[in-house]
Chain A
Amino acid sequence: MQRTGLPEPISRLIEELSKLPGIGEKNATRLAFHIFRSSEGYARSLSSAIIRTKSDVIMCSTCFNFTEKDPCALCSDPSRDPQVLCVVEEPLDLLAIERSGEFRGQYHVLHGVISPLEGVGPEDLRIKELVSRAEREDIKEIIIATGTNVEGEATAVYLSRTIKPLGIRTSRIAYGIPVGGDIEFIDELTLGKALRDRKDM
């Protein structure tokens, strides 16, 4: 769309920015003007940062997380336990688990969940690679950390049925009440599950 009174390059930038998720045209205009008013150095560094996400990021051939070098930093870290694998849907889930600092094993990123309605079957995910990893490496336990929606649960069932026959311990992350949360504000599904999966003290 040509905006009257706006040079074409700025108009173009607004157009591109407003394609980003969560960015409307107003916000895009604000951002475009901010970039326009900034130094040329900033504009160059921003554009090269954008380009580099495409040119310099590859997928780790072991865990399929995004990385700059293959194998990735996590897979080549000798201090991490190679006998425990945590399976996640997306790289962002991996980041979240890393932030928890609780997990010192290695990861496997599926890049999605099984959903026939969206045309995604097990063969479209990195499940084959997970199985061959499980057969090849000496793995003692696989922790399934897919989401708790219907597709995440179904994928977890698929994984456990595929991995268990290999004689590897398969576990599912627990559901429960958030730490520091007030019981009265927790939805009944979560609370019900937390009660059913309670622990001895």
Chain B
Amino acid sequence: MQLKHLSLRNYRNYESLSLPFYTGLNVIHGRNAQGKTNLLEAVYLVCGMRPFSGAKNSELVRFGCEASLVKGEILSANGLNEVHITVKKEGRHTRLNSKTVRSISQHFGRFKVVLFLPSDIEIVKGGLQARRNYLDSVVSAIHPAHIKQLRDYQRAVSQRNHMLGLKEKVSLLSVELWDEQIARIGADIVDRRIEMIKSFNRKLAEVYGEHGESDTSARVSYGFSFERGADLAEAIREALSKNFPSDRKRGHTTVGPHRDRVGFLLNGQDASRFASQGQSKNLVLALKASEIRLFKEHTGTNPILLLDDITSELDIKRRSFLFKTLSEFTGQVFVTSTDKNEIPRRGEFHSFLVDSGRVKAGA
């Protein structure tokens, strides 16, 4: 997979931009606050058809403008694709090969990007929700059905919670019909998560082993919020019915896959509590490296790798881990950095100098 060309109009701090990109390494460099990350975000948007999480449409449109246009040409297994995105305050309009895209989630993983932001350390250090979401996003990129089932699952939980929250007396049956849905869909979700964790752990062992950090072992762990039985759906159903009285008091559902705990163990210890800043960053990097390998194993293609300002906060030893990961990767990479010379030149290397919303290729 490769982004061949990107054009922007009135996007963030870019008035107008048209750039070719290359296989191998694309280094976006320049001083701080010139628009390096904005450019990376545009790459992410045009491939993934959605902006960085938490970014509002109104923030994507250049100050004082009505709309921004983002256009990309992406080469994938099925040939050259054109993605057009018009961003307005009220919403985004996306076209793939001139056809309007109604459901972004249907295209999730089509042009897969693996993104590494400094804030991704939250995957390790942040809350349970962040870790669950991360795992689910990796599963979704490989199994599109997961996205739909997560949505259906959430819907069933909301329906059950609504019943639990009612002041008047509710019949057991009127809650159990949602238990049934939660159990049925939840079992599929947990199944896929556990399968994914197994593959993840194999890849993590490879990644850590290959980088001479075999003294460190990293694993993903899964903690059930319910008592696990041979039949997952049955186990969820039982847990829900056992917890009905207490759930009724609290007004929400306290067991099920939405309460399961995804954790990372570094040398057998809970990374969210014991890992240092540097260790956590490395772990995130190893996760992303594993993600790339998993995606390639399942689909036969390399995702596009985006790395934002990753060398900051990494000491020399950990940088070598990063650069080794980079040099092994045969797909297209976008990296932002304040100093292009800190990125080791291996293979194809193209640099782009960003200076207050203008980009000079080859500089």
Task: Report yes or no: A189 in contact with B149, Cβ–Cβ below 8 A.
Answer: yes
For chain A, which range describes its interface: under 10, 10 to 19, 20 to 34, or 35 or more residues?
A: 20 to 34
Expressed in whole angstroms, the Cα–Cα distance for A150 and B143 within the complex equals 20
A7 interfacial by beta-carbon distance below 8 Å = no
A138-187 residues at the B interface, CB under 8 angstroms: 149-151, 153-155, 157-158, 161-162, 187
Task: Report yes or no: A188 in contact with B162, Cβ–Cβ below 8 A.
Answer: no
Contacts of A116 in B (CB 8 A): 159, 162-163, 166, 174
Main DSSP-derived SS at the A contact region: helix
Pick from A114, A162, A189 the residue with the most CB of B within 10 Å: A189
Task: Report yes or no: B177 in contact with A157, Cβ–Cβ below 8 A.
Answer: yes
* Contacts A149-B152, A150-B159 given; does A114 touch B177 at CB 8 Å: yes
* Contacts A149-B152, A150-B152, A154-B177 given; does A115 touch B159 at CB 8 Å: yes
Task: Report yes or no: B152 in contact with A117, Cβ–Cβ below 8 A.
Answer: no
Closest residue of A by beta carbon distance from B158? A117
Expressed in whole angstroms, the Cα–Cα distance for A162 and B145 within the complex equals 31
Number of interface residues of B (CB under 8 A): 22
Contacts of B184 in A (CB 8 A): 153
Closest residue of A by beta carbon distance from B185? A150
Task: Report yes or no: B143 in contact with A121, Cβ–Cβ below 8 A.
Answer: no
CB-defined A-B contacts under 8 Å, sample of 29: A116-B162, A116-B163, A117-B159, A122-B174, A150-B155, A150-B159, A151-B155, A151-B159, A153-B180, A153-B181, A153-B184, A154-B156, A154-B177, A154-B181, A155-B177, A157-B176, A157-B180, A157-B181, A158-B173, A158-B177, A161-B173, A161-B176, A161-B177, A187-B145, A188-B144, A189-B145, A189-B148, A189-B149, A192-B145
Extra A-B contacts (20), CB below 8 Å, given A117-B159, A121-B174, A157-B177: A114-B174, A116-B159, A116-B163, A116-B174, A117-B158, A122-B174, A150-B156, A150-B185, A154-B156, A154-B159, A154-B180, A154-B181, A157-B181, A161-B173, A161-B176, A188-B143, A188-B145, A189-B145, A189-B148, A192-B145
Q: Which residues from chain A sit less than 8 Å from chain B, CB to CB?
A: 114-117, 121-122, 149-151, 153-155, 157-158, 161-162, 187-189, 192
